[in-house]
Structure 1
């Protein structure tokens, strides 16, 4: 549905899921998206258990403000579901309450939402998906306790763990353990659960990621033979330590400003450390002075009314504060500073304002200072509680939008995902004479980036089914079909097209300037593919060269970096996307085939259409494809002699290897991989996938195998699989949450692997590839992993 945005947009992909906790939903509606640009953004709810409730926050949106929200349809596992007040939508805001879940059946609930915008009605199909799990099995507990104390004062604090256990008399076989996903809890990325049920802190997690003084609650998803179960709030990691860091917010750059004889107080400081038996004390003030006091419980420093600390514009008092808790104490030298003046000027509300700013989407950034002429001393700026824009609130929560507390400067980082239109950022300024605060707004006009695009299309030659007695290399090109875009198949490497020109894109601006470069010439284990292939940097024309597909039948991938700028809008951020072009070169070999139930001799091969399969490594969803056995001669051009029977009771197939991976984004820890050779490294993505599957020997093929070495189906322990080829339904199965790196980021790239087949229902005969039965090795499938893929 959506393609991955690379370079600039690669950060957007992560933030849409993890930071902003929203995702973009496609829509079927009365008006086309192109005419209005209206889109809703809901937070994705993944796992929830029976008896639990969940409040799904109001959606963000792109376009005119929505209103009159309604739920138009609900399905349970794609069947109509009668909503008995389980899902209730707020007609004004679009927020959805999930309630009365105790008796709800397990399964995937898809909620379609309708609303009006600018007088037009829009319907968003499957805008929200809720995975209702079964109740936790009896006899499942956590050891040593559901509250796990993580003491960061200990050298090996990150090795703290908990263990899921089952009572012997109520034992239930748990096939797979996983952390239940909840996109409102970004800290889940720092934890993992092993195949044995051990809940751990991931290797490399730092004290800046798990903060002392905070608690982190995890729910578990337990897979048994009867389905997935929710173990809600299974364990809480309580992170503690002695006081480690103390920070005061100062109303001036280097100090707080107080007025002579008037009461005043500091901010309440932020402390990193355990909160039990917390106590603050002033250890010293330099130069020494009496009159200041500190709140022992929260660390706020104050001066009373009619205090006797003299005014001195040149003197700054420096404080050392002692903080103690149950785990120890620490002195924080020069952690706070104060100055006393004769007069603190109150804030003039008429002289505090911001000028409206423009901001581009997708790479735009903003620094907005308050307007000149501001009056007021010892002020403190903050993000006002009166902000109600859900997008602004989400960006503030994830520190994409910040307000400098000393000068009121507002910054918006270039990884923002604000929708096009006007947004208000409300800022409050206070001081000791304006404690109620003055609130002013910065109006930000978010402009669509004219350089944004989703695809560049070089065409395809596989969109129509292979017909008997027709040329395999069909010339018809359909540029708008994403399912087949940029896929070219050449049987036995015959009649490879020598040149490819760009057929189109979804850039609508005639002033767009394109730049094309080849960033990867990927050919699996072979290095001779595309060695002489070149691309015109201005128009994207690809010239394949003398030996465009090398000496093997693996096929290959050209990864093209496309950068778009705009001649008439030079301030618009350049937009960059990596576009893969896929080549499939199935080998024709002498093997028997079945035609109308009769075995015949002849040349044949297996093809899949399309041969690129989109797969979501997070959810396991895969796109559909057809599998065919065809007969073909090896002459030029290759002709198809027939599409042959593939009886399920005789057809077997299996991955044989080697497995290779081409990375499509800029993640240096997900490097191109060939894990079945001696040069594999830990920064190669598939090496890490093998680790996720607990495969110690990286030459083992188990993570991708349906059968074991004895030819017996071996899929009972899903924890040890990444994906496999299903025999009965002739499809690809991807196990969720396995195809990712140690950085907890899911794969975004393509995997190639050789597989073998026969039509004699003899898997061992197929895999051993004897002289009598060559068991033709083919590469009919390329798996494109993309966590934004939401299904056909």
Structure 2
């Protein structure tokens, strides 16, 4: 693998070894001998294969620092288990997983104890580990190595054909029922279809060049017990020339050497490099004005100046750096990528400290360095930031630490270390961030469904108005929530109209067109108007099922929840009122409305400039080498794409009338669809292309990468 820095290298290495899915959970206090408020929170490791090893990090905690950890018991699928594969660090509570060769597969739950302030606590089932069996022999990926140019992937407008690989079995000795990519830090960049085709997601701006090794989760039978892990199934090498080089900061300062300053020197930060790491080498192309006192480390790119440089205050040097790798031997010049100013004096870092911070779950906060802090040209960086905080805290150029409203930092106490560095000295400050319970925090409101679909949480928030019934016969009302306080409800009419009872959340429908679907967004707020205010948004869908020329089409569920990266296939619809169902045909025709829910895309039809779905129509046209037609059915039509059904964004399978969503088609400018699409479908009763048939809107596509 070719990482861009040490942290990324470690992160990817662990992903190769473990194929991890990290989840955070709280452990309830099981035995307490006093009234002290104390709890610990472990990060769980799942999806581990045989012969794998690893470490589950130390828990975070509320209360005094715990110690004297012990494993009290281990269960395997509910039965007591004894073995030496799990060991706990008595001092910090981290758990090592080793000697897993031959270990039984199944779900392991570990109960631990510890002491805090002299009090002993027990935490039942604090950690869960899913040990998966390997897949049967004879399953391979062909080819098991792919090489692809970064420029072909990152450009969402690119029409270059990306390579794919196929999961195969040895002479079909075993059938594979379900294909998944094992979760990792980079699994989102890749997809696998329902037939085992592994592909690369095009247009995600966060993807970096490098080697990625994927493991697969495969189900080879009819039950979850037949699920196994295919370790290191395929290596995908994304190659490129040097693409970018950024020094942060890009302006450095060095003191002139004097009686006041003494001998001075300078070192820049390691630059952020983007490109393949193979045979990467840095060199200085030019310095203006010329000097031989500024040098660069060819391996790291660090720019430095030794003592006895002789620079004088007021001078400025601009450095152009050349970076080359195996894919560009001449290298790429990054002009004036770093500037060094010479000054008389730099204030050393003094009195660098933070005060401990008590924060509230999901509430924004800010922590600044103490008022007495001094220092010029200071650079700040986190040191040993706990995993639970990574990606959830911001550190400004002034040393301010913040988290946004709605942040997902778990409950617990965290030690945060920040290093401040300038050319004179460095200092490390640490403080404790304690995230306490927000009485207003909750995660869901579910309206359920009236279709008889279970479990309700998998098919929530969809209601059908029966043929011939009035809108008033359906009044969706919240059926479940984990909120512990009263909620205030508001509604946004997206397609259709209705009102909501602010106290109960009951929806009264006023307009949903016949043979069509309504889309509404309900916002439930706890503690409205207080600093601890917290809100959850829930989409609610309505199908007004009415006959069109005697025909009734009903999908159950009529909300097709689909991951835009992987695609999928809906259920078959129930068709009534048709004499010969074998000649009943359907196809998408017009009025394609995309509604953004939680992304940044612009809602609207393809005719709307800069709308998300317009971009998808553009991509479809490019794939066919034609000009986009924003009034055409073709990007979602079966009949317009019969020769190649991998081209459309989605289509209705002519043989089953199931709605098929093709993988990686609902992504534009690197952002996957996160909303709903409702389009008109026309039907015919003569077995032919129904392009001129009667129209209805019987199904909603709901996109989310969490599905």
CA distance in 1, matches of 2:40, 2:53: 23
Three-state SS of the structure 1 residue aligned to 2:143 is strand
SS at match of 1:391: helix
Which position in structure 1 is the counterpart of 2:138? 137
Name the CA distance, whole Å, in 2 between partners of 1:220 and 1:184. 11
Superposed counterparts of 1:540-559, under 5 Å: 540-545=505-510, 551-552=514-515, 559=520
Aligned to 1:446: 435
Do 2:318 and 2:336's aligned partners in 1 also have CA atoms closer than 8 Å? yes
Tell me if structure 1 keeps the 8 A contact 2:251–2:339. no
Q: 2:598 aligns with which of 641, 644, 666?
A: 666
Question: Does 1:110 find its partner at 2:107?
Answer: yes
SS at match of 2:398: coil
8 Å CA contact 1:515–1:538 kept in 2: the answer is no
Q: Deviations over 1:56-98 (max 9, x none)?
A: 53376685578645564223xxx86956545656675354526
Deviation at 1:426, TM superposition (A): 0.8
Separation in 1, partners of 2:657, 2:28: 38
SS in 1 for 2:46: coil
What stretches of structure 2 of length at least 5 have no aligned partner? 1-19, 569-580, 607-612, 621-632, 688-696
Residue of structure 2 in register with 1:329 after alignment: 331
2:232 counterpart SS class: strand
Q: Which residue of 2 aligns with 1:474?
A: none
| Rounded Cα–Cα distance in structure 2 between residues aligned with 1:167 and 1:464 | 35
Q: Could you say which residue in structure 2 is the equivalent of 1:391? A: 388
Q: Deviations over 1:639-683 (max 9, x none)?
A: xxxxxxxxxxxxx99x99789999793347798999xxxxx9885
Partner secondary structure for residue 374 of structure 1: coil
Deviation of 1:190 (Å): 2.3
Contact conserved, 2:415 with 2:431, CA < 8 A, in 1? yes
Counterpart of 2:353 in structure 1 is 353
State the 1:248 CA deviation. 2.8
Asked if structure 2 preserves the Cα contact closer than 8 Å seen for 1:584 and 1:611, the reply is no
Distance 1:184 1:320, change over 3 A: same
d(CA) in 2 for partners of 1:544 and 1:577? 18
SS of aligned partner of 1:183: coil
Alpha-carbon distance in structure 1 between the residues aligned to 2:189 and 2:54? 24
Q: Which residue of 1 aligns with 2:310?
A: 309
2:492 equivalent in structure 1: 517
1:301–1:459 Cα change, 3 Å: closer
Say which is worse superposed, 487-496 or 576-585, in terms of deviation. 487-496
Tell me the CA shift for residue 50 of structure 1: 4.2
Deviation by residue 1:89-138 (Cα, 9 ceiling, x = unmatched) = 66753545265246756xxx323343458866444599444543315527
Moved more, 694-703 or 293-302: 694-703
SS in 2 for 1:45: strand
Aligned match of 2:395 in 392, 395, 403? 403
> In 1, distance between residues paired with 2:564 and 2:45?
13
Distance 1:218 1:438 in 2: 40
Q: CA deviation at 1:287?
A: 3.2
Per-residue CA shift, 1:608-660, capped at 9, x if unaligned?
Answer: 9x97999786999x9xxxxxxxxxxxxxxxxxxxxxxxxxxxxx99x997899
Aligned CA-pair RMSD: 6.2
Equivalent in 291, 297, 300 of residue 302 of structure 2 = 300
C-alpha distance after superposition, 1:532-581 (max 9, x if no partner):
x4335676453345xx77655x8x55534215263562x34552412426
| Structure 1 equivalent of residue 535 of structure 2 | 575
C-alpha separation between the residues in 2 aligned to 1:31 and 1:573?
32
Conserved in 2, the CA contact under 8 Å of 1:159 and 1:200?
Answer: no
Could you tell me how far apart the structure 1 residues matched to 2:324 and 2:143 are? 32
d(CA) in 1 for partners of 2:43, 2:676: 26
**In structure 2, C-alpha distance between the alignment counterparts of 1:158 and 1:217, rounded to whole Å:** 25
Aligned match of 1:218 = 214
Q: For residues 738 and 173 of structure 1, do their structure 2 counterparts lie closer, same or farther at Cα, with a shift above 3 Å needed?
A: farther
**Other-structure match for 1:426:** 417
Larger radius of gyration: 1
Question: CA-to-partner distance for each residue in 1:395-424, whole Å, 9 max, x for gaps?
Answer: 3xxxx42434x5323343456311234433
Distance 1:670 1:738, change over 3 A: farther
The answer on whether the counterparts of 2:564 and 2:673 sit within 8 Å (CA) in structure 1 is yes
Alignment correspondent of 1:566: 527
Do the aligned residues in 2 keep the contact of 1:429 with 1:439 (CA within 8 Å)? Answer: yes
Aligned partner of residue 188 in structure 2, secondary structure: helix
- Secondary structure (helix, strand or coil) at the match of 1:578 reads strand
Match of 2:500 in 1: 535
Count of matched residue pairs: 619
Alpha-carbon offset, residue 266 of structure 1: 1.2
CA distance in 2, matches of 1:178, 1:461: 29
* 2: CA distance, partners of 1:411 / 1:703: 53
Could you tell me which residue of structure 1 aligns to residue 243 of structure 2? 244
Q: Is the 8 A contact 1:256 1:378 kept in 2?
A: no
Match of 1:264 in 2: 265
Give the superposition deviation at 1:429.
Answer: 2.0
Question: Residues 442 and 332 (structure 1 numbering): CA distance in 2 closer, same or farther, change over 3 Å?
Answer: same
Q: CA deviation at 1:264?
A: 1.9
- Return closer, same or farther for 1:576/1:22 CA change in 2, 3 Å cut-off: same
Q: 1:319 to 1:508 in 2, by over 3 A?
A: same
Equivalent residue for 2:381? 382
The Cα offsets for residues 133-187 of structure 1, whole Å up to 9 and x where unpaired, read as 31552775537xx47364759999995855658999x65578779986343322x
Pick from 73, 76, 80: which aligns with 1:74?
A: 76
Correspondence 1:1-40 to 2 at 5 A: 22-24=22-24, 40=41
C-alpha spacing 1:259/1:192, structure 2 compared with 1 (3 Å): farther
Contact kept in structure 1, 2:489 and 2:501, CA below 8 Å: no
Paired with 1:543 and 1:429, the residues of 2 have a C-alpha distance of 57
Q: Counterparts of 1:581 and 1:200 in 2: how far apart (Å)?
A: 32
Instruction: Supply the distance in 2 between the matched residues of 1:782 and 1:103 (Cα, whole angstroms).
Output: 45
Q: Structure 1 unaligned runs (5+)?
A: 1-19, 466-479, 522-529, 591-604, 623-651, 675-679, 708-720, 724-734, 755-766, 770-778
CA offset at residue 391 of structure 1?
A: 1.1
Render the CA deviation track for 1:434-465: whole Å, top value 9, x for unaligned. Answer: 3xx42112443435445444455778889999
1:22 match: secondary structure: strand
Q: Does 1:203 align with 2:202?
A: yes
For residues 563 and 688 of structure 1, do their structure 2 counterparts lie closer, same or farther at Cα, with a shift above 3 Å needed? farther
CA deviation map 1:233-284 (0-9, x unaligned): 521405231x43333344x965455645625231353233444444443343
Distance 1:701 1:344, change over 3 A: closer
Could you say which structure has the higher strand fraction? 2
Structure 1 residues 139 and 421: alpha-carbon distance in aligned structure 2, compared to 1, 3 A threshold:
closer
The residue aligned with 2:340 is: 338
Do the aligned partners of 2:286 and 2:321 also contact (CA within 8 Å) in 1?
yes
Aligned in 2, Cα 1:174/1:285: closer, same or farther, shift over 3 Å? farther
1:478-526 C-alpha deviation (Å, 9 max, x unpaired): xx9868976767765558756848678554446x6543333343xxxxx
Q: 1:249 to 1:420 in 2, by over 3 A?
A: same
